[in-house]
Amino acid sequence: MNAIGAARSFRKHLRIFGCYYRLNLASALEYRASFAIQAFGMALSNSSFIFFWWIAFRQVGGSIAGYSFEDVLFIWAASSGGFGLSTILFANASNLSNLIITGELDAFLLQPCSVLMNLICAKTSLYAYGDAMYGIILMALFYAGDSAAWLWFGYGVLLFAAIYAAITLTAHTLTFYMGDAGSIGALASQFSLNFSIYPESIYGPAVRALMYSLIPAAIAVHVPLKLFRELLHPAAALSALGGAIAYCAAACAFFYRGLRRYESGNVIVTKM
Amino acid sequence: MPVITTCGLTKTYRAKVKGEGLGASVRALVKPQWKQVEAVRGVSLTIERGEIAAFIGPNGAGKSTFIKMLCGILHPSGGELSVLGMLPLKDRRRLAMRIGSVFGQKSQLWLHLPAIDSFTLLAAIYEISDAERRRRVAELSDVFELGGFIQTPVRKLSLGQRIRCEVAASLLHDPEILFLDEPTIGLDVVVKQAIRELILRRNRERGVTVFLTSHDPSDIENLCRRAIVIDRGSLIMDCPVERLRTESGVESADASMEDIIAAIFRKGAAS
């Protein structure tokens, strides 16, 4: 594909992406009460965790595993915001196993655009809006006037959104190879969150290696925190970005390789 | 001019074999057993531009698998195929711009939103400008009489209304070939007739080639000029619809199309 073709394709996919976002939101708003309750409920549920952290810090003192209470608030804000953004835009990644098993991928393969983008953007999550909102509220409450904090928060949110979607996608892609990998997908998503909402030094070296390699959620949360606290050289931001891009590219390649094994199916289904 | 050509098209896949009960499940966990299933066996055929061909066969004959290979959904295991001069898997996106499909069991419309919103998304996917989309939606809405429910959420439509929207959605990008996999499944006779008339009209006015699978003999009788019969993955008959009676061996002049097709299937099963 030449440069003009690539630019045209990019514009087309951007238009589809925008269209999906508007339709997903419109679909969510069809059930206004459910939307409001789920979004608000999620924000409330997240608040309870912060309350427990506040109690823990009061009991233990100034820091836990090298993290202050403000540091924990920062990683919570970045992971919550990133998770929210990821599941607002790419919620269907966690539905991939189901799509493969029921043969629903057919509909995406029949359309003249990127199968991967088309399918992962085709669904949103209502409670994700609560998560995204919660991340921003935390930052507004505790880092309102700190522009550096907002910069690294934004960086972390974008990185986490991309990495979380890629981790979920990779785990669910295993369904092409070994049958239903839905529970592996759920586990991988859960690990990603666990790795990002606790101080990283509470984990042993093996788990920490995992947090920066196979399930690299730490890149998107703990690295931005260290950059914000100036514990890392700013150039580390570029390395983390490069690592995230490489991981996402590998996830895409793994998906397309698995897609060759797709066998379709005839289950009666309706697009939700 | 042929728009679809297949030569010795084959599709095999591996299926797990497991005995009855928990013990067999545990054994399958340690030592899984597989069998090769030949869903499509060396099918060769040609479809000309503007044809309406029925692709029929009993359940599990390989009809859907065959269509999915033509649409670029499934990888063939062997043989050659060309659709509109393209290789479906290699040129999937380019081909998708020129074909339309309705899989009666699967929806391309958003359940919670009106069909008009799904048309907007499809227009973005098929690179149709806003002005052109409005023109085409107005035209399809007129032809398919969607006006009364195009702005109603799809979940609130009757099956007949939904299928009319599905067929309209598949025609939005003005495809040259329409693949219809059981488009009238579950519909009442009046709606079936309406859908058939709409398909015929599109074929007459735009020269759209129609490749249809259906278990409804009336679809075949009223829509198609050619019948292609497949059984256990192999092509067993390819003839004009009016010759099906002779080929089936049914002698009674009163025999319905359903009797004729059943006789052909039985003949295929016995061979």
Q: What is the CATH number of the domain that holds B216?
A: 3.40.50.300
Whether residue B224 is found in the same domain as residue B266: yes
Q: Which of A43-47, A104-108, A152-156 has the highest mean pLDDT?
A: A152-156
Task: Report pLDDT for A237.
Answer: 96
Query: Is B229 found in the same domain as B192?
Result: yes
Residue B259 and residue B210 share a domain: yes
Residue B23 has pLDDT above 90, yes or no: no
Residue B235 lies in a domain: yes
User: Looking at residues B41-53, what average pLDDT do you find?
Assistant: 95
B94 and B185 in a single domain? The answer is yes
Q: Which residues, at least 6 apart from B218, have a Cβ–Cβ distance to it below 8 Å?
A: B192, B196, B257
- The verdict on B263 and B192 lying in the same domain is yes
Q: Does A269 contact B at CB distance below 8 Å?
A: yes
Minimal C-alpha gap between A14 and chain B (Å): 10
Rounded to a whole number of angstroms, the distance from the CA of A110 to the nearest CA of chain B is 6
At B137, the pLDDT band (50, 70, 90 cuts) reads very high
**pLDDT surpassing 80 at residue B104:** no
Least confident of A160-169, A200-209, B91-100, B109-118: B109-118
User: What residues of A are in contact with residue B73 (Cβ under 8 Å)?
Assistant: 105-106, 109-110, 262, 264
Residue finishing a domain among B123, B152, B173: B173
**pLDDT exceeds 70 at position A92:** yes
For residues B73 and B190, membership in a common domain is answered with: yes
Which is higher by pLDDT, A101 or B215? A101
Q: Are B169 and B115 members of one domain? A: yes
Tally of domains within chain B: 2
- Distance of alpha carbon A220 from alpha carbon A152, whole angstroms: 10
pLDDT band per the 50, 70, 90 thresholds, residue B41: very high
What angle do the packed helices B115-125 and A3-29 form, to 10 degrees? 170
| Contacting residues of B for A266, CB less than 8 Å apart | 64, 105
**Quick one: DSSP state of residue A93?**
G
Question: Rg of chain A over CA atoms, in angstroms?
Answer: 19
Are both B179 and B168 inside the same structural domain?
A: no
Decide if B12 is inside a domain: yes
Q: How large is the ipTM?
A: 0.85
* B87/B55 same-domain check: yes
Confidence of residue B105 (pLDDT cuts 50, 70, 90): low
Q: Which residue of B has its CA nearest to A267?
A: B105
The band of A134, judged by pLDDT with boundaries at 50, 70 and 90, is very high
Q: Which pair of tokens denotes residue B56? A: 């029929």
State how far the alpha carbon of A154 is from the alpha carbons of A50, A203, A224, A242, B20, in Å.
20, 25, 9, 17, 55
Q: In this predicted structure, what is the pLDDT of residue A272?
A: 46
Task: Report the interhelical angle of A217-228 vs A147-173 (nearest 10°).
Answer: 170
Residue B103 belongs to a domain: no
pLDDT at A265: 66
For the full predicted model, state whether its pTM sits above 0.90.
Answer: no
How far apart, in whole angstroms, are the C-alpha atoms of residue B71 and residue B68? Answer: 5
Residues B93 and B189 in one domain: yes
Greater pLDDT, B18 or B170: B170
- B32-58 average pLDDT score: 92
Are B84 and B182 within one domain? yes
Pairing of strands B52-56, B226-231: parallel
Percent of the residues in chain B that have a pLDDT greater than 90, as a whole number: 48
**pLDDT, mean of residues B201-211:** 93
pLDDT per position as a tens digit, A199-232: 999 999 999 999 999 999 999 999 999 999 999 9
In a domain, B104, yes or no: no
Domain enclosing residue B149, as ranges: 109-173
A99 Cβ neighbours under 8 A, 6+ residues apart: A92, A105, A108, A119
Which strands make up the sheet holding B177-181, listed edge to edge?
Answer: B99-103, B177-181, B209-213, B52-56, B226-231, B234-240
Q: Which tokens belong to A192? A: 């990603």
Q: Find the distance separating the first CA and the last CA of chain B, reported in whole Å.
A: 34
Residue B124 sits in the same domain as residue B207: no
Mean pLDDT in residue range A15-23: 91
Bridge-partner residues for B9, per DSSP? Answer: B43
Q: Which of B124, B153, B173 is the last residue in one of the domains?
A: B173
Chain B residues inside the 8 Å CB shell of A31: 112
